[in-house]
Amino acid sequence: MDDHNTSTMSESEQMYLLTLAMLAEDGMVPPIPLAALAHARAIQPVSVNQMVRKLADAGLVSYLPYKGVELTRDGKMIATRVLRYRRLWEVFLVEKLGMLPAEADTLACRLEHLTSDDVADRLAQFLGDPQVSPQGKPIPRHEDAPDAAAWITLSDAPFGRALQVMRVDTDPPAQAFLAAAGIRPGGMARVQATGVDGELLLDVAGRRVRLAPELAVQVLVLPETVPDHSVSS
């Protein structure tokens, strides 16, 4: 991770990076407005400005005046690492200790800052290498793992099988359109049919969504074995 690692960062610094990553994951297209970051962190804008400057000086975010802030490569690596810790703990707390997802998320938010890569790898192995959190969010894999090898485009996905959306490689307007339809990283979908022109008919959280072939090839998915209730028949 170059010159940066989670052990030398404060919890507050990690949380800013994590919040930026989660806002983007939820469909907000970077650069993220500072007002949106302040709202998500429940912090005064002046404090956000100070932290953003500090993170920018460290090379973890880039700030675009009047537009917002986005993670750099190093910042994204740290955010992804901490997010992996959190969601692994969520799985453990829900599946092994029987906690409710909301309770698990609160406690996992504290545990993530005390976790190392070695502990996370051991935890992942113990849990059977889960790929989705109890709240349906993707669990990032170890940065050295070939996690993307099994990803396929939505246009190549098998019929009737539950699919986890891993990445959307398209422009911001198309990303916003797809996110509004429920097609975003962490979401689930199922291909029901293909039209003559290549248009896909999808089941996304119980809704029927038609997707043009030029968009389908830009959505990367991972075929999953999931409970029947996660994607309706």
pLDDT tens per residue, range 77-126: 899 999 999 999 999 999 999 999 889 999 999 999 899 888 998 998 89
> In the predicted model, what is the mean pLDDT of residues 194-208?
89
CATH number 1.10.10.10 is the correct assignment for the domain at 1-142:
yes
Compute the CA torsion angle 175, 176, 177, 181 (nearest 10 deg).
Answer: 100
- DSSP 3-state of 223: strand
Region(s) of the chain under CATH 1.10.10.10: 1-142
Decide if 104 contacts 90 (C-beta within 8 A). Answer: yes
CATH class of 149-230: mainly beta
* pLDDT given for residue 62 in this prediction: 94
pTM of the complete model = 0.61
**Whole-angstrom distance, CA of residue 3 vs CA of residue 187:** 33
Region(s) of the chain under CATH 2.30.30.90: 149-230
pLDDT tens per residue, range 150-169: 788 998 998 888 888 877 87
Structural tokens at position 181: 């339809």
pLDDT tens per residue, range 34-53: 999 999 999 998 999 999 99
Decide if 155 contacts 216 (C-beta within 8 A). Answer: yes
Percent of the chain scoring above 70 in pLDDT? 88
Sorting pLDDT into bands at 50, 70 and 90, what band is 8?
low
